[in-house]
Structure 1
Amino acid sequence: MDNAGQGLLQTLAQADALGRTVALLLLTMSVASWVVILWKGWLLRRAARDLGLSTAAFWQAADLDDAQRRLVTFDAQQLVLPLLQAALGLANALPHTLAAAGDRSQQLTRVLRDALHRVLHRLQFGQVLLATVGSTAPFVGLLGTVWGIYNALAGIGLDGGFRIEQVSGPVGESLVMTAAGLVVAIPAVLAYNVLGRQISRIEADLEGFARDLRELLVHRGLE
């Protein structure tokens, strides 16, 4: 085992309740962020692939019914199909309600916007967790370091004497908590930025498809 690992284990062995709570919190944050990173990486890779296949299948369809059948097959991540279903669902709007009021083109814009927001909300799930871990984990680790240094200095005060080894050992071990906080935070920050760019690309493609779909339906007389 390397020195960092030994230092961390020794720090945990000598830590009090607060120190162990900080270590447990960092471990929980690390596990949660890696679960989100792996899951979202898989999800966005599938989403980007399905989006390309779904839009191509849609525009190659003979009519809207054929397009909907094709999307059921190709749109496994439910990115494009909810937009089409929302647009076609305008015919089921209850009469004499606010949902059925106004120009049909405006209604179409509203339902497509709402459907797009629901899809994007699902894609963005977990981004807040990554941002939170990336921004708070270093401070959580710093809290463990400060608390460890405080305990070391308090112990020296109780002994009534001072030797450099009394400070260097506990302080060095306490700094491991700061390093642990950085180890937890750095992957979360990197993943947040990388996954955020992927979501932005998918969002741009979906917005373009929603705009084209609206123009198509308006042109076909559904406004």
Structure 2
Amino acid sequence: MGLAHFINNADAVAYVVIGLLLVASIGTWYLIFSKGVRVLRMQRESASFINAFWDAPNLEAVASRIREKGTTEPFAHLVHHGFTAIEQYKRRHIGGEAPSLIEAGAPDDLLTRALKRAIDEDRSRLEFGQTFLATVASSAPFVGLFGTVWGIYHALIAIGVSGQGTLDKVAGPVGEALIMTGIGLATAIPAAIAYNAFARANRNTLAQLNAFAYDVFAFMATGVKTSPMLTDARATSEKVIAMTRSDASHPAHSSFALR
């Protein structure tokens, strides 16, 4: 009796259950490694961009850096959307072209909508794969339990047909059936841990991005770095740069609303 014996004597239903758990496990570990590497790289690039943003002499220097290195992380992507909104406003309203619906409204409203869209797009990218992890974490134990119940059912039928109900005849088949529950738990536990870890990292990133968006809006809407604004912006910068080592315990807000 054992795993090899159980697999060799399994029926089609048991093979389907094992196949589902195997696919779920492979997908889980793929997301763990791929998203883990992506998150670490994004945090390093975000810290580098934030340093360059606050050290830049003006917004044109920031725009030049974005054109050179691209928008590979959320903070550069946010600023890029802001620059795009300003260019659209100048081209349509100042240049005399008829504005489209997306470009309608006051410049502050246009900039606000652009920054909101950037945050929403970044949220979607950050949450990629988390639905799969949550589904595996919640359903894999029940899939394994179904396999166990199915195995015990057939084991008890075989014991009843043989007429031998001693402990040595019952314990082996029932113990084999419990293997399915173990496989289900082994699949679900890494998925649950990974989901919680990525969800927390996303909350921290979105909270810092939300705070950074207010400063970007102020700089682009006014074009002047006044002393009080600069003090508040530097404070926000320090929080953003520290996001890679942040261990905040309070829940982060992922919404962005400018009034």
Question: What is the TM-score when the length of structure 2 is the normalising length?
Answer: 0.77
Q: Which amino acid aligns with 1:179?
A: G
Structure 1's unaligned 5+ residue stretches are 1-5
For residues 132-147 of structure 1, what are the structure 2 equivalents within 5 Å? 132-147=135-150
| 1:152 maps onto 2:148 in alignment | no
Match of 1:116 among 115, 119, 122: 119
For residues 3-42 of structure 1, what are the structure 2 equivalents within 5 Å? 7-42=2-37
Q: Which amino acid aligns with 1:36?
A: L
Structure 2's unaligned 5+ residue stretches are 93-97, 225-259
In structure 1, what is the equivalent of residue 199 of structure 2? 196
Q: Deviations over 1:51-87 (max 9, x none)?
A: 1111110121122231022245566633222222211
User: What's the CA shift for 1:92?
Assistant: 2.2
Tell me, in whole angstroms, the C-alpha distance in 2 between the residues paired with 1:150 and 1:128: 33
Does the CA-based 8 Å contact 2:151-2:177 persist in structure 1?
Answer: yes
For residues 62-101 of structure 1, what are the structure 2 equivalents within 5 Å? 62-72=57-67, 77-90=72-85, 91-92=87-88, 95-101=98-104
Tell me, in whole angstroms, the C-alpha distance in 1 between the residues paired with 2:4 and 2:192: 26
Does the CA-based 8 Å contact 2:78-2:118 persist in structure 1?
Answer: yes
In structure 2, what is the equivalent of residue 48 of structure 1? 43
Secondary structure, aligned partner of 2:38: helix
**Shift in CA distance, 171/19, structure 1 to aligned 2, threshold 3 Å:** same
Q: Which amino acid aligns with 1:117?
A: D
Tell me, in whole angstroms, the C-alpha distance in 1 between the residues paired with 2:11 and 2:69: 55
User: What's the CA shift for 1:128?
Assistant: 0.9
Q: Deviations over 1:162-214 (max 9, x none)?
A: 33322211100000110111111111111111121111111112112211100
In structure 1, what is the equivalent of residue 217 of structure 2? 214
Does the CA-based 8 Å contact 1:58-1:71 persist in structure 2?
Answer: no
Tell me, in whole angstroms, the C-alpha distance in 1 between the residues paired with 2:193 and 2:125: 20
Tell me, in whole angstroms, the C-alpha distance in 1 between the residues paired with 2:70 and 2:55: 14
**Shift in CA distance, 42/76, structure 1 to aligned 2, threshold 3 Å:** farther
* Number of residue pairs matched by the alignment: 216
Please identify, of 76-85 and 128-137, the stretch whose mean Cα deviation from structure 2 is larger: 76-85
In structure 1, what is the equivalent of residue 245 of structure 2? none
Q: Deviations over 1:115-172 (max 9, x none)?
A: 1111121111111111111111100100110000011112123334433322211100
For residues 100-111 of structure 1, what are the structure 2 equivalents within 5 Å? 100-111=103-114
Tell me, in whole angstroms, the C-alpha distance in 2 between the residues paired with 1:114 and 1:67: 20
Does the CA-based 8 Å contact 2:46-2:73 persist in structure 1?
Answer: no
Tell me, in whole angstroms, the C-alpha distance in 2 between the residues paired with 1:107 and 1:8: 62
Tell me, in whole angstroms, the C-alpha distance in 2 between the residues paired with 1:24 and 1:200: 34
Please identify, of 131-140 and 74-83, the stretch whose mean Cα deviation from structure 2 is larger: 74-83
Q: Which amino acid aligns with 2:88?
A: N
Seq. identity, %: 38
**Shift in CA distance, 155/202, structure 1 to aligned 2, threshold 3 Å:** same
Tell me, in whole angstroms, the C-alpha distance in 1 between the residues paired with 2:105 and 2:206: 28
In structure 1, what is the equivalent of residue 132 of structure 2? 129
Q: Which amino acid aligns with 2:137?
A: G
